[in-house]
Amino acid sequence: MQPAGDKALLEMRAEIFRLVRLCAPNLASLGTITFEGEASNERQRRQWIDSVFIPVLAPAIQTAWWAGKSGFREMAAADAAMDTKLVGPLAKTSRAAGRQIAVSLHAPIGEVGLQRFLSAILRGETPGHMATVFAARASVFHFPKDVVLAGLAFTEMRTARVGDLWTIIEDCLQDVPACEPSIFRAA
């Protein structure tokens, strides 16, 4: 029999996998999003966490998550705000990944705001950053924000060795304000 903590940890990991399957089902074909390097290289990972994940992606995820509960205008505004913060090659790869997800997914029935957002991305009316598309979609499926942050870290760090992945995700989340990284802690 497993201790209760191990069961909760396994359930959380399963929830992250479920989130990624629903919000980025074509993950294998997305290529690099915003992290370039070796996930197991602590220096490269720490630089990305400090310069991209915490100041840009984590706030964008939280904003887009709330926007997903509000409507199209809020989603487009969250996406446009991210576009002002993520620039250069990282913005290009983020937009390409978001567009690929938008092309491959439909909004659930009744989620008119999300459908309008995905359509606006396809028409080139909004940038369609991967983080905003991912978080807005996760929001309509009622995933908690902390799980969405972990799911985004998972998508970025997916090249890590399986045995190291959960520790690396924990590393990504530990300094994010208002995140409860302890629920992801590796066993």
pLDDT in tens, 56-93: 999 999 999 999 999 999 999 999 999 999 989 999 99
Least trusted range by pLDDT, from 3-12, 30-39, 81-90, 177-186? 177-186
Least trusted range by pLDDT, from 52-56, 69-73, 173-177? 173-177
Residue 66's pLDDT is what?
A: 94
Average pLDDT over residues 122-132: 96
Q: Give the amino acid at 156.
A: E
The 10 Å CB-count burial string (b at 16+, else e) for 34-48 is bbeeebeeeeebeeb
Residue 182's pLDDT is what?
A: 36
pLDDT at 178 exceeding the cut of 80: no
Three-class DSSP category at 96? helix
Residue 5's pLDDT is what?
A: 65
In the chain the beta strands, taken as DSSP E runs, fall at none
Cα 149 from Cα 146, distance rounded (Å) = 5
Residues whose CB is less than 8 angstroms from the CB of residue 68 and which lie 6 or more positions away in sequence, other chains included: 75, 113, 114, 135, 136, 137, 138, 139, 140
pLDDT at 185 exceeding the cut of 60: no
Tell the burial category of 85 from Cβ atoms under 10 Å away from its Cβ (0-12, 13-18, 19+). middle
* Residues 129 and 95 sit within 8 Å (Cβ to Cβ): yes
| Of the ranges 10-19, 30-39, 132-141, the best mean pLDDT one | 132-141
Residue 186's pLDDT is what?
A: 40
Cα 55 from Cα 176, distance rounded (Å) = 9
Residue 7's pLDDT is what?
A: 86
Report the percent of the chain where pLDDT is more than 70. 92
Residue 187's pLDDT is what?
A: 37
**Structure-block tokens of residue 93:** 């790869």
**Structure-block tokens of residue 43:** 């220096």
Residues whose CB is less than 8 angstroms from the CB of residue 52 and which lie 6 or more positions away in sequence, other chains included: 34, 35, 86, 90
Cα 1 from Cα 47, distance rounded (Å) = 40
Average pLDDT over residues 151-161: 92
pLDDT at 176 exceeding the cut of 80: yes
* Structure confidence at residue 8 as a pLDDT band (50, 70, 90): confident
Total-model pTM = 0.88
- Please state the domain extents for the chain: 39-184
Cα 150 from Cα 164, distance rounded (Å) = 15
